Structure 1
């Protein structure tokens, strides 16, 4: 059943009032009690909260504060945290768009940029009755959605005009810290273009990647693939992803959606594919990880990991250090698993004439599963752990001497990655 916007607004304000009141009540009910003076002050605060969150009072205040934020699909602060230029709200759809851009998103997420203390106004504007959000109603001039809450037409108009300040850019401007491109259009004539980061597109891609990695649907599909059982859902894996972080430890200072993404933006590889004139399966050697294609593809990543471990040696192990270590190790694993895919999709049974260990035959050649009764995933994971320890010691020129503890950790990461990849 469709709920009117006015009812959603009332419920939203009441929910915020209740949250504020509960915080005060908790202070009143502390274990050792509070003094009479403190109790009187807390009771007075509750009265003030009830007054401030009376619907008409709160909406009047929200209309004043709306100018402190901007609802946007494209935000300038992602270019530089101190940029002060205009943000753009672009909701026009182009279902025939030939490129992957924000106009191709059916329901683009709307971001909020500006004073974090006014983000409650942004949430108000994004209340949705099933047909449209309050922001869309106001942008189309449908002020009547607030009329039942106002005491007069003048008050309703005041709210609508105030809240629309979060939607409009009256004087578009760029900034010295924003990206600017001079595009030639004639002799000594240029258009000045200021490309903006699409938070709406970044948010859509973020959820697509997160879904492929952590959703229950994908977990079931990967499990079915691993067990060679049918599944109605395709297994999706994004390899060679890069991640940028906006806002550091305070992603909310950039935007509302950036905070929901923990500051992360996933970047997909755009480099041209490597030309391979002839596919050659790894027929020589027990350990495919010692193959030239693996060593050359992972050399840079292993060196990055070695450099980090050397720098971290003088310090105690912290969550930040461990996360960075695992991030670099997983990037190395991603490269290896991507290379392994070309062999796993080769003609089944190709490994029968190879010198590979039985465990690695089972890994790289699905047809060879029946050749090995043991736990080939554990064996391959141990091969990776030994290989990575040896590579790190070699590239560090023996500055790193890694033992069984590191071996066990690399082995666990590899085992999890192989299972996640569906092998």
Structure 2
């Protein structure tokens, strides 16, 4: 290997050695603490050997050699399967934006060369993800490995065997002969011929989730919402002063959680976002899905919700399924979760309809809802009602009221599905937990962001 640029070689080596030092320190500290307290000479020798072995293991060349043997178990990708279903086992794709056909519509093709590379398939290799994501000159090491940068290989060791390891790191995005779909992927049969009766006239399409694009969107929106420049702009707006920075608004912004409590099982970038993915609103300027009236009267909120035609339809099928005494297996749990998702979706739509009403509708004497329900359904009231705003902020911070409304939903659902079904406390707790996670969390996210914005205006 030819002589590289000494400054770049040193820069690469410094980045990697600093990373390995951070990985080594907590493990080395444990041994050193034991060694300091140990008085037995034989055990001290044993601990000293462990210390020396650990230091050698985290030497740059030694660590890279072992890492190269493990890196074959992960995929570098821009488009991933597990965002669709965490159990999908097909092929992830690495498609740099420059390799894609340019389109007028916003998509992965519009990302620049600084696009984020995702890693997936084995969350146990987290340290490898972090290593390949280390940046030098603003570019992740993976991309330097991909082009077989000679200075990077020189920094690792420069020998032929090390050069082979560099090639191994750079080749994890190459598909070879393993291109495959999976039964859990979304698939669409698209008519490409003329006869819809003939199977050969169809092509099967498998839409892939662009993780790199999602990460770019998430980072840009987060910057627009929470950066120091945005805070300065909001402070200037509050004081009615000029500011060189603008304020970006994203009305009706949604958040999709991928991976549940284990976002790392989807991918590395998804884990860095805590599983959160922003969804921009796709709505006409004025939209009311149905005739909506405020929930006035003495009937409790969820009883009024249960009278809606779509809600009753879901409840009927849900109850019929449970009364059929299905076996306690995975298929039954999936069907149960599907019905519950439909029901929670209907309630989210119901909340959206009520949020579209003029704020302060809950101040009408005909509204007999309890305050936790008002906080959920009429959050715009705090901007016009000072007394309500004070109570709103205090209770919003405590979050105790979310348990109250979640329990109210669970009690109602147990009653609505009752009759022949022996539903008890276990079901009530389950309904409540799912409601709080799937309905309250995303709704409160939007309300909380609005509160933060108003606090700076």
Give the TM-score of the pair, scaled to structure 1: 0.64
Partner of 2:386: 378
Runs of 4+ in 1 over 6 A off after TM superposition: 304-307, 331-335, 337-340, 413-416
- Is the Cα contact below 8 Å between 1:126 and 1:134 reproduced in 2? yes
Q: Which of 141, 147, 164 lines up with 1:158 in the alignment?
A: 164
Residue deviations 1:106-146 (CA, integer Å, cap 9, x gap): 22111111223333333333343327443333333445630
TM superposition shift of 1:304: 11
Partner of 1:25: 29
Cα distance in 2 for partners of 1:304, 1:143 equals: 69
Residue deviations 1:121-179 (CA, integer Å, cap 9, x gap): 33333343327443333333445630353353x21332123213322111211111122
Structure 2 unaligned spans of 5+: 296-300, 307-346, 360-379, 413-445
Correspondence 1:290-305 to 2 at 5 A: 295=294
Correspondence 1:42-57 to 2 at 5 A: 42-57=47-62
**More moved, 35-44 vs 179-188:** 35-44
Classify 1:338/1:47 alpha carbon distance in 2 versus 1 (closer, same or farther; 3 Å). farther
Partner of 1:167: 173
Q: Which of 111, 114, 117 lines up with 1:110 in the alignment?
A: 117
Structure 1 unaligned spans of 5+: 277-291, 297-301, 308-327, 341-362, 365-374, 401-412
Partner of 1:240: 252
TM superposition shift of 1:338: 9.9
Classify 1:233/1:16 alpha carbon distance in 2 versus 1 (closer, same or farther; 3 Å). same
Partner of 2:96: 91
Provide the alpha-carbon RMSD of the alignment.
4.4
Partner of 2:147: 140
Give the TM-score of the pair, scaled to structure 2: 0.60
Residue deviations 1:42-93 (CA, integer Å, cap 9, x gap): 3322211222223222222122111111111111111111211111122224
Classify 1:200/1:32 alpha carbon distance in 2 versus 1 (closer, same or farther; 3 Å). same
Q: Which of 228, 231, 245 lines up with 1:216 in the alignment?
A: 228
Partner of 2:214: 202
Correspondence 1:267-286 to 2 at 5 A: 267-274=279-286
TM superposition shift of 1:261: 0.3
- Is the Cα contact below 8 Å between 2:12 and 2:155 reproduced in 1? no
Cα distance in 1 for partners of 2:45, 2:137 equals: 44
Q: Does 1:123 align with 2:123?
A: no
